[in-house]
Structure 1
Amino acid sequence: MGMSIGGIASGLKTAEIIEGLMQLEAVPQTYLKQKQSSTNNFVTALQALNAKVSSLADNAKNLTTADAFSKWTTTVSSNHASATASTSASTTDLTFKVNHLAQGRSALTSKVADAQTLVTDGKFTFTTGTQDTDSFKEWSIDVAEDATLSDIADAITKGNSGLRASVITTGDGSRLQLTNTKTGVAAGQFEITSGDGSVTLQNLKDAQDAEIELWPGMGLADSIVTSSSNTFTDLAGGVSLTVAKVHAADDEPTSLTVNQDTAAITKLASNLVSQVGQVLSEISSRSSITTTGTGSNTKTTGGLFTGDAQARLLTSQISNALSYPVDGKSPSVIGIDIQKDGTFVFDEAKFTEALTADPEGTQAFLTELGSRVEAVASAASDKYEGSITKRIESQQTLSSEYSKQIEDWDRRLKLREESLKATYTAMEVALSKMQGTMSQLSGQLSQLANLNSSS
């Protein structure tokens, strides 16, 4: 690059002149940068919209699944038990009493004179569960010759058999207290199978199943139900009951009620309307026109989606999906209304009333609305073929093209600036030489004049 000498000879402000010329030369690049900036802003807006539309599609699709409305509440009238309901539950009204809680065997050994009396061939062995059942298993623990009773107890407890052991020491000796954390008549059993036979077990509590009596007082033959754990799975179909306390003889029976969770289903409808509102609001806010200034200085600015055909089409499609009748009935019959400004409102009381009066019909109505909204939202937001997704990709490609063009202009402007600097530098050098020549000529002419005057 040539070096500019800044108008030393010409007196011109060459640096400022070059800067001004470069600004003119850069006008096309400045325009490209503005276009790229607006394109990137548009992409960001589309991505934000796409995220909301995708979320709407997912939630609307949930309304079309088989278990969408299989939501249930359980009520237990006392602290003797608690209950949960799965999607396969149904309306239930049941009374019961808890006769027994499930427990594993707990036993105390006789006094243990020496830990080795429990060991055979360097091993302490025991079984859990009941023979001839799937719960039966044999266990073996290696025991050192100098192991203490506490060492054996620790090894038992740290194992994964479910058996827990502790050493109980009294004034006349030590005993092991053993408890099976697995419950039920079968799984809750255990036996020590090693040792010299001098140590015996005395039960503190027997292994037993949990037991409840349904419809107490009626004396029905099939009213007794047992479980190896304190949870009765799929009681009444899809309902699991966990017992926690035995009923005393004079306690009132506990009632279990299972009803459809109307609040949860109402929330599904409310969420659909709310998410549709979020999408429409996103489009509306980015389509609004703002006016600033007054009089001749008034300036009107449109939003990123102002005049955008795709945004208008999506607004129309989603609004139609939620507002058009189903089997000749307006969505307003289940509490979904469209306002004059195109927004939707949800009337919870009206929906609950419709759900109570006609559960199946109301659910089918909501499913149809969800299906229509999901179809529109998925077509727009699908991560591969969605119309918004495709639009984002095309705009990102356009932004990349702008980047390439801007880079080309960077190179072009750099060469142009170097050319201008070289031209002005050459001009300054030429002017400087001319000024030097003129100075010499002036000197020579002055000498000639002096000679002539002296002669």
Structure 2
Amino acid sequence: MVTLGVDGLVSGLDTTSIITNLMSVEAQPQTLLKSQLSATQAKATAYRTVNTRFDAIRSAAEALTSTSLAAARSASSTNSTVTASATSSAVDGSSVSFRVEQLATAKQVTSLEKWSSPTARADEQPKPVWPIKVLDSTGATVGSIVIPANATLTDAVSAINASGYGVHATIVQLAANQFRLQVSSDGTGTDGARTLQGADETADDPQSQTVGTAESGFQRSRDAVNAQISIDGTGYVRESSTNTFADLMTGVSVTVSKADPTATSPTTISVGVDGSAIAAKVKALVDAANGALGVIKGYTVSTAGSAVATLQGDRALVQLGDSVMDAVSSAIGGKSLSTLGLQLNKDGTLSFDSGKFTATLASDPTTVNRLLSGVPATTTDGVTTAAVPGFADKIAALAKAASNSSTGTLVQLANGRDTLANAIQDKIDGWDIRLANRKDTLTKQFTALETALSTIKNQASWLSSQINQLYNPNKSS
């Protein structure tokens, strides 16, 4: 490209400004295309934002299917020192009563030998002999604890605590200049118990029924005891190495924190419908729906004093918003969702009364299930009754139709804007080439003009000088 380095030296024209202004006029079609591209991309983004909201509606609605409602279970306890949790496999209405006979405890041993101070050499006493093996409840070696030469009793404690072998140690002072090593198992009950085997000791041999000499340098200060509960009225006892009894009933786990074998009345664990969990799921759906409605309104309705909404009056979005509100306001099986504390507000939002919902669920769970998850088709004496979709079914189907990754309305709208944006970008790129060529042409034309004017000016100067010489009266003959 030819670049005019200096503005019109001969013509006196501001060549750079003239070309810039001409190019601004020439580029108006491209400028309009760029504005159109920006608006198209903004619309694609808007559709995808709304799509994300509808996918959230789908997810929340699917959590309210008849299967998920039936699986919502909670377990209650009559004893504040006993807690219980229930999974979906727990049976509604089931219960069990028991007394807590004892809690699980961790094994603890204290050295027979004593040291004069925590800084005394750990190996100055005959027991234990290092390195020490740590054995689990089956007699298998978990690991070996080694201490460096001249290690102190404090160093030995640090090595035990850093081993990660299921034991921890401390130094116990029983009198002046009398310090003993105390080692406790991290886990409780018989399964969590650890045994210390010095380098000069042997382990138990179950096959030969030989009792080993492990922990000969320690005395048992606390036994490893399993937690125990006795099932009321049966005489049966259940044990656990921890204070938690997994699957005491199907899908129910119980954790005890206080032993009370002589309690006047047993602890009773009962399984029921988890109303708060279901209410939380309904609230999540309402929140998702309100989120979608708010985004739709923001994209389709312009407010005074602000720019025109990105999708002002977009029919597809307006219809989607109306469909969500219709799903709430429509009766299901002759009953309104207001029965569940769910209703449509005047401002186009949804509201949910969790307390009213929980109360209705407790008094009439069948109605709640029908309104939320509908009634399946049934056939009696050859006559089939059509299925009645519930609120969750209706809004889930609506959300799926809008947000399906391949056929969803919103996905197709966004993809359509992407296609249009690509076409506009191609036109913009074409204009880049056209405008570059046009600028090059203008630059060459103005350069040629200056060159022509310069030539004419030089010729005029030469002619003027020649004429002056011909008619100069002072010129000698």
- Shared fold (TM-score greater than 0.5)? yes
Q: Which residue of 2 aligns with 1:355?
A: 361
One-letter amino acid matched to 2:38? S
Q: Distance in 1 between matches of 2:173 and 2:151?
A: 13
Q: Distance in 1 between matches of 2:32 and 2:147?
A: 86
Q: TM-score, normalised by structure 2?
A: 0.76
Q: Which residue of 1 aligns with 2:226?
A: 209
Residue 56 (1) aligns with residue 62 (2): no
User: Which sections of structure 2, spanning at least 5 residues, go unmatched?
Assistant: 115-122, 202-212, 374-389
Residue 162 (1) aligns with residue 179 (2): no
Quote how far apart the aligned CAs of 1:33 are: 0.9
Q: Distance in 2 between matches of 1:435 and 1:165?
A: 107
- Give aligned-pair identity as a percent: 29
Q: Which residue of 2 aligns with 1:312?
A: 318
SS of 2:247 mapped into structure 1: strand
Q: Distance in 1 between matches of 2:347 and 2:101?
A: 63
Q: Is the 8 A contact 1:111 1:173 kept in 2?
A: no
Q: Distance in 1 between matches of 2:441 and 2:351?
A: 67
Q: Is the 8 A contact 2:147 2:156 kept in 1?
A: no
One-letter amino acid matched to 1:262? G
Q: Which residue of 2 aligns with 1:188?
A: 193
Give CA deviations for 1:205-259 in whole Å, capped at 9, x if unaligned: 33322122444xxxx2335433222111122333322112222746765554554
Give CA deviations for 1:162-216 in whole Å, capped at 9, x if unaligned: 344556576797755443333334653747586476946543233322122444x
Q: How many residues align?
A: 437
Cα gap change, 1:372/1:147 in structure 2, threshold over 3 Å: closer, same or farther?
Answer: farther
Q: Distance in 2 between matches of 1:304 and 1:145?
A: 73
Give CA deviations for 1:25-77 in whole Å, capped at 9, x if unaligned: 11111111111111122122223212212222222222227334644455545
Q: Is the 8 A contact 2:143 2:165 kept in 1?
A: no
SS of 1:380 mapped into structure 2: helix
User: Which sections of structure 1, spanning at least 5 residues, go unmatched?
Assistant: 130-134, 293-299
Q: Which residue of 2 aligns with 1:10?
A: 11
Q: Which residue of 1 aligns with 2:26?
A: 25
SS of 1:6 mapped into structure 2: coil
Q: Which residue of 2 aligns with 1:264?
A: 277
Q: Which residue of 2 aligns with 1:297?
A: none
1:21-420 aligned at under 5 Å gives the runs 21-64=22-65, 66-68=67-69, 70-76=71-77, 78-89=79-90, 90-91=92-93, 96-111=98-113, 118-119=128-129, 124=132, 127-129=135-137, 135-138=138-141, 141=144, 150=153, 158-166=162-170, 176-185=181-190, 188=193, 190=195, 192=197, 195=200, 199=216, 202-215=219-232, 220-222=233-235, 224-247=237-260, 249=262, 254=267, 256=269, 258-290=271-303, 302-339=308-345, 342-367=348-373, 368-420=390-442
Give CA deviations for 1:388-423 in whole Å, capped at 9, x if unaligned: 233323323332333332232222212211211221
Q: Distance in 2 between matches of 1:145 and 1:9?
A: 96
Q: Distance in 2 between matches of 1:42 and 1:88?
A: 47
Quote how far apart the aligned CAs of 1:352 are: 3.1
One-letter amino acid matched to 1:85? A
Cα gap change, 1:202/1:429 in structure 2, threshold over 3 Å: closer, same or farther?
Answer: closer
SS of 1:234 mapped into structure 2: strand
Q: Distance in 1 between matches of 2:179 and 2:308?
A: 89
Cα gap change, 1:410/1:145 in structure 2, threshold over 3 Å: closer, same or farther?
Answer: closer
Quote how far apart the aligned CAs of 1:4 are: 6.4
Q: Distance in 1 between matches of 2:217 and 2:455?
A: 124
Q: TM-score, normalised by structure 1?
A: 0.79
- The range that moved more, 77-86 or 414-423, is 77-86
Cα gap change, 1:226/1:36 in structure 2, threshold over 3 Å: closer, same or farther?
Answer: same
One-letter amino acid matched to 2:222? K
Q: Distance in 1 between matches of 2:16 and 2:167?
A: 91
